Amino acid sequence: MSREPDLELQVAVAKVGKYAVSESGDTVEMIERPQGGLSLVMVDGQRSGRSAKAISNLVARKAISLLADGVRDGSAARAAHDYLRTMRGGQVSATLNIMSVDLDTRTLVISRNSHCPVVVVEGEEQELHLLDEPSEAIGVHPRTRPVIAELPLSRNLHVVVYTDGLLIAGERHGDRFDVPAFVREHLAGGDAGDRAHSLADALLARAVELDRDRPADDVSVVTISIVARARPDDVRRLSVRFPIRP
Amino acid sequence: MSREPDLELQVAVAKVGKYAVSESGDTVEMIERPQGGLSLVMVDGQRSGRSAKAISNLVARKAISLLADGVRDGSAARAAHDYLRTMRGGQVSATLNIMSVDLDTRTLVISRNSHCPVVVVEGEEQELHLLDEPSEAIGVHPRTRPVIAELPLSRNLHVVVYTDGLLIAGERHGDRFDVPAFVREHLAGGDAGDRAHSLADALLARAVELDRDRPADDVSVVTISIVARARPDDVRRLSVRFPIRP
């Protein structure tokens, strides 16, 4: 068997809040997995602003703390659902996505409790397909469970997960954002550097543009790319940038 | 009163493990603060490899989960100490730093339970000083508490926090890493883009170079910069890159 090539994991998150609302109702958190790798949790709380933020925070914290304890993703999603449903009497819903890079099983695990499809591009041919099985938001119905996909970590794998602010971008103005087409085109367009970062940035910029610079909803995008390793160093890097209002 | 300028927060983390040890004993985690802003927790567990990782994970998870609940930084540090001391009978130590960007009080809060000084550069003159009051590691002595500094969020504030792998870089070869001098020089050298990212990267690269590409210990660097906002957009961005071994 030939030696597998060294790979690099790239994760990027880009978020913007609904226009003229001070707080985004989406929460994205990340945690190191106790067995190696990392998990991201993305939650879109019902409605927007402060009440949505409280909900998404509650759900994200519950899921993150379970994942940090080594609980498997599907159980963490079910627990987050039960917790929200108990706390809010089944009156409040939220969408929940958990994305895990599991270095133990060497897979990317994607859990969906959201109507938003996940875009997957993989292989030498960069074939695109959607994870779009019907899936329901958490918090309302009894025994809700996630739809889970598991993909082997391999070179040129790209996954794009987002909240529905991206899906509805431009709708007010009669436009429609064809996310899969945009992703395909962007990835075909070279730029071998930080793919995940440039893809997340481009998707968010396009959504804001379609909304005429006034996002109709909170928009969050998470991209995960596995690419051939460009740099020989063993350094792990994380970077965050965000505006601070006066 | 004139309107304050818009600011941008930049956070960067760069980490590398001790040479020939598969797992870094340092843990760095980040969480959104429930009242706005974010907190970073950096823990260096005693010794290296798997046992150190188990310790640093335990401490980081405890601190992160308390911070996520809205517990203040000083209490979270004390609780992490009590927890580690209880769990390990006072036999195992760890250094702990908590860095919080608190948008409620508009301050940067830096808690130290580490002998490593923190480098602070601030103001138009870019004056450099160290937070180096004596401070002890957690886990061993009774009633250990953090040394806390609180700095107002203002333009051109840079803070550099690190584990002692950076301090001892090069020592085996008779070299000494003058971290403050390196920081001063790097910040004086232009590059208005992602200051935090380039500074963390440069510090880590220099440490690895001083160790002749074979780090004598786990090295972690966290940099936080507050700069004038360059981009008009309200987007929050996060990016992670790390190698996956075959």
Per-residue pLDDT of chain A (246 residues; tens, 9 = 90+): 445 568 999 999 999 999 888 788 899 999 999 888 999 999 999 987 888 999 999 999 999 999 999 999 999 999 999 999 999 999 999 999 999 999 999 999 999 999 999 999 998 899 999 999 999 999 999 999 999 999 999 999 999 999 999 999 999 999 999 999 999 999 998 766 889 999 999 999 999 999 999 999 999 999 999 999 887 788 999 999 999 987
ipTM for the complex shown: 0.93
| B244 to A7: CB separation less than 8 angstroms, yes or no | yes
Flag if A246 and B57 touch (Cβ within 8 Å). Answer: no
Taking alpha carbons only, the member of B243, B161, B176, B164 closest to residue B211 is B176
Partners of residue B32 in chain A, C-beta under 8 Å = 27, 29, 57
List of chain B residues whose C-beta atoms are within 8 Å of the C-beta of residue A16: 233-236
Say whether B16 and A245 touch across the interface (CB within 8 A). no
Looking at the partner chain, which of B15, B208, B237 has a beta carbon nearest the beta carbon of A236? Answer: B15
Q: Which residues of A touch B45 (CB under 8 A)?
A: none
Which of A3, A9, A239 has its CB closest to that of B242?
A9
DSSP-derived secondary structure letter, B195: H
What's the whole-model pTM score? Answer: 0.94
Which residues lie below 8 Å from residue B83, measured CB to CB, with a gap of 6+?
Answer: B58, B59, B62
Closest to A233 (Cα-Cα) out of B222, B42, B206: B206
Phi/psi region, residue B191 (left: phi>0; alpha: psi -120 to 50; beta: rest), is left
Nearest CA in chain A to B18: A234
Within 8 A of A13 by CB-CB distance, chain B residues are 236-239
- Select the residue of B5, B65, B238 nearest A240 (Cβ to Cβ): B238
The tokens describing B215, both together, are 């780090």
Q: Rounded distance, CA B125 to CA B2, Å?
A: 21
Q: Do A8 and B243 touch (CB under 8 A)?
A: yes
**Coil, strand or helix: which one is B184?**
helix
CA–CA gap between residue B37 and residue B9 (Å, rounded): 10
Distances from the Cα of B231 to the Cα of A8, A118, A244, B191, angstroms: 28, 29, 12, 15
Are B197 and A153 inside 8 Å of each other by CB? no
Cβ contact, residue pair A194, B241, below 8 Å:
yes
Do residue A246 and residue B7 have CB atoms under 8 angstroms apart? yes
